[in-house]
Structure 1
Amino acid sequence: MYAFEIERPSNIAEAVKALGTEEAQPLGGGQTLIPTLKQRLAMPSVLVSLSGIPEMKGICLDDMGRLCVGASTVHADVAAGAGDFAGLSALAALIGDPAVRNRGTIGGSLANNDPSACYPAAALAAGATIKTDKREIPADDYFQGMFDTALDEGEIITEVRFPIPEASAYAKFEQPASRFALVGVFVAKFAEGVRVAVTGASEGGVFRWSEAEEALSKSFAPEAIEGLSVSAEGMMGDMHGTPEYRAHLVGVMTRRAVKAAR
Structure 2
Amino acid sequence: MGQEFYEQIFNKQQKLEAVPSNKEITKWALQVIHMLYPEQTGKTFADVDALKAEFTLLENELYHIMEVTKACNDCDNRKRAARFFEDLPRLYQILNTDIQAIFNGDPAARSEFEVVRTYPGFYAISLYRLAHSLYMDDVPLIPRILTEYAHSKTGIDIHPAAKIGEYFYIDHGTGIVIGESCTIGSHVKLYQGVTLGALSVDKSMANTKRHPTVEDNVVIYSGATILGGETIIGHNSIIGGNVWLTKSLPPNSRVYHTPNHRILKSLTRRIFGDKK
Normalised TM-score (structure 2): 0.29
Give the structure with the higher percent helix. Answer: 2
Identify which of structures 1 and 2 has the higher relative contact order when contacts are C-alpha pairs closer than 8 Å and 6+ apart.
1
Q: Structure 1 length as normaliser, TM-score?
A: 0.30
Give the greater-gyration-radius structure (CA): 2
More strand per residue: 1
